[in-house]
Amino acid sequence: MKLWQQNIELNKQVEAFTIGKDKELDIELAAYDVYTNMAHAMMLFKQGFLNREELDNIQSSLRGILKKIKEQDFSIEPGIEDIHSQIEFMLTASIGEAGKKIHLGRSRNDQVLTDIKMYFRDQLKDIGDLLIEISKAFLSKSEVHQADLMPGYTHSQIAMTSTFGLWFGAFAESFIGDLDLLISTIDLINRSPLGSAAGYGTSLPIDREFTSFMLGFNHLHINSIYAQMQRGKTEWLVANSLASIAQTASKISSDICLFTSANYELITLPDAFTTGSSIMPHKKNPDVYELIRGRCGEIALLPQRVHNLSNNLMTGYHRDYQLLKEMVFPELRHLKECLRMILLTIPIIQVHGIKLEDHKYQYLSTVDAINELVTQRTPFRDAYQQIKKEIVEGRTEFKPHKKTTHIGSIGNLGNGYLQVRLEQLIRKLNEYDWQKKIDELFDDDQEA
C-alpha cells in the first residue's frame, strides 16, 4: 500500500520502474528520516497539533526505529515504496492513530530534500576529515624532501629544475583548496527546506525555524518554491566539490603512475602496494593509482550529469530528481575509497631523485644560466639567445641551480603559510555541531 494509493492497484511493471533503486539507496537516508520526523513531531506539539501523550509515543517509537537502523536490523518491506513510507507505516503500526498525524504540514518532497541535505553534509564532513589528513601527509613529505632534486616538466618534456618538496607541496595546497571549496559547499547546502511541503507551503501555522534549529541547519531556504528548486542544485553543488577533489586525485595518480615507471624511476611504491603480471615476473604495477585515476575520471563527469538531468525542468517537483540519488550517492562512496588509498600510500612512497650526470638532464639548468646572465645586466632576450646558441653548438653543461628565494619556489616552499591555512579550515570544519544538536533533540524533547 502506498501513502497516496486509493482503490486502483498500480501496474506491477510500472511500480518496479518508478521505484527504481529507491529501496536500495534510501537505506542511506533512514536515520536522517527518523531525525526529521522527530523534529517535525516536536514542532507539531509546540504548535498544538499533538498532545503530550501523542508526542511521547511518537518519540519513543522513533527511537526504537533508530535503534533498529543503527543495528542494521531495518529494511523497506515489500509493497512499500520508499524510506518515508516505511517509517510512517512502522510508526502507525506501533502507536496507532498518533502515527497518522506525523505527516501533517509537509510533503514527501520537502521530507526527502531535508534528509538528503543532512546526508550530504555528513558525507562531505567525512570527506573533509580525509582531506585534512591527506594534506598533512603531503606537507610532511614536502618538508622531508624539500632539497631532493627532480625534473620539472612542461609539454611532458624535461623543462626546469624542481624538487620533490615543491611537487609534494603542490598537491598539499591543491587538496587544501579542495577542502576550502568543500566547506563552502557545506555552508551553501546547510539550509532547511522542511515545511516548504510540495513547494508551496501549507495553510497550517507551522514553525519552520524551530525544525531548522533542531536539525542543526544554519538557516532556512526562505521561499518555499526556491526550497524545492534546491533539488538538483544541491546535488550539483556537491558534485562540483567532488569533481574538484577528483581532479587533484587524478593528477597525483597520473604522476605516480609515470614516475614509478622504469623510464623515470623517480619514486617507487613498496612491493606490498603493487601488483604483478601473469607472464612478466619483473612487473610491479601501480594498479591502485590506475584505478584511482579511472574512478576519479568518472567522478569528474558528475556535475555535467547532474546538470543535464535537472537544468531544463520547470519549477516544482519532477520524478526525474529520483535519479540524482543513483548518480551522486555511489560517487561519494567511491571518492572516499580513493582518498583512503591515497592516505594509505603517500607516506610510504620512496623518493629516489635524479642523477645529474645523466645525459637527459644536461639542459635542466638552462633557465638558471639565462637568469645568471640577467643578473650581470644582460637583457633577458639577449641572454636567451646566447644560451640557445650554446645549446645548438653543444657547449651547454649542467650547472648547480641557483637557490630561488621567492615564496612558493624551490628555496622557499611556503609550507608554513599552507599549514596556517589548513589549521583555519580544520577549525571551521570542527565547528559543525549537527550531531550535538540532534542528540539534544532526542534527549531533551520533554522541554519542547
Give every CB contact of residue 12 below 8 A, 6+ residues apart in sequence.
none
Residue 407 lies in a domain: no
Q: Are residues 141 and 271 in the same domain?
A: yes
CA distances to 378, 384, 388, 403 from 381, in Å: 8, 5, 10, 22
Residue 400 lies in a domain: no
Q: Are residues 130 and 271 in the same domain?
A: yes
Residue 28 lies in a domain: yes
Report how far residue 359's alpha carbon sits from residue 286's, in angstroms, rounded to the nearest whole number.
27
User: Residue 268 is placed in which grid cell?
Assistant: 617507487
pLDDT at 437: 78
Q: Are residues 200 and 304 in the same domain?
A: yes
Nearest in space to 83 (alpha carbons), one of 12, 160, 19, 6: 19
Q: Are residues 219 and 324 in the same domain?
A: yes
User: Residue 163 is placed in which grid cell?
Assistant: 624538487
pLDDT at 79: 80
Sign of the four-CA dihedral 378, 382, 388, 393: negative
Which residue is listed with cell 564532513? 125
Q: Are residues 309 and 340 in the same domain?
A: yes
Domain that holds residue 39: 12-104
Q: Are residues 65 and 121 in the same domain?
A: no
CA distances to 174, 194, 334, 389 from 184, in Å: 15, 21, 21, 52
Name the domain count of the chain. 2
Q: Are residues 97 and 139 in the same domain?
A: no
Residue 448 lies in a domain: no
Choose the final residue of a domain: 53, 85, 104.
104
Give every CB contact of residue 328 below 8 A, 6+ residues apart in sequence.
235, 238, 239, 302, 306
Report how far residue 419's alpha carbon sits from residue 34's, in angstroms, rounded to the nearest whole number.
39
Domain containing residue 254: CATH number: 1.20.200.10
Give every CB contact of residue 425 below 8 A, 6+ residues apart in sequence.
132, 176, 179, 180, 183
Give every CB contact of residue 43 below 8 A, 6+ residues apart in sequence.
206, 207, 210, 211, 214
> Residues 367, 373, 378, 382: what is their CA dihedral angle, to the nearest 10 degrees?
-40
User: Residue 221 is placed in which grid cell?
Assistant: 531556504
Q: Are residues 46 and 133 in the same domain?
A: no
Report how far residue 266's alpha carbon sits from residue 260's, in angstroms, rounded to the nearest whole number.
6
Q: Are residues 117 and 215 in the same domain?
A: yes
Q: Are residues 316 and 191 in the same domain?
A: yes
Phi, psi of 327 (to 5 degrees): -75, -50
In b/e form, how buried is each residue of 192-210, taking b as 16+ CB within 10 angstroms?
A: bbbbbbebebbeeebebeb
Give the DSSP H or E segment for 198.
none
Q: What stretches of 145-162 show up as alpha helix (H) in DSSP?
A: none
**CA 12 to chain CA centroid, nearest Å:** 37
Residue 401 lies in a domain: no
Strands 350-351 and 267-268: antiparallel
Give every CB contact of residue 41 below 8 A, 6+ residues apart in sequence.
50, 55, 58, 59, 62, 102
Contact 145, 168 (CB under 8 A): yes
Residue 365 lies in a domain: no
Residue 152 lies in a domain: no
3-state secondary structure of 410: coil
pLDDT at 19: 65
Query: pTM of the prediction?
Result: 0.91
Q: Could you read off the pLDDT tens digit of each residue along the chain, which spans 448 residues?
A: 555 455 667 667 776 676 667 777 889 999 999 999 999 999 999 999 999 999 999 999 999 999 999 999 999 898 887 899 899 999 999 999 999 999 999 998 999 999 999 999 999 999 999 999 999 999 999 999 999 999 999 999 988 889 999 999 999 999 999 999 999 999 999 999 999 999 999 999 999 999 999 999 999 999 999 999 999 999 999 999 999 999 999 999 999 999 999 889 999 999 888 888 778 888 888 999 999 999 999 999 999 999 999 998 999 889 899 999 999 999 999 999 999 999 999 999 999 978 777 888 888 888 888 888 998 999 999 999 998 998 898 877 766 666 788 999 999 999 999 999 999 999 999 998 888 878 877 665 444 4
Residue 345 lies in a domain: yes
Q: Are residues 35 and 112 in the same domain?
A: no
Choose the final residue of a domain: 53, 87, 104.
104
Q: Are residues 84 and 127 in the same domain?
A: no
pLDDT at 18: 65
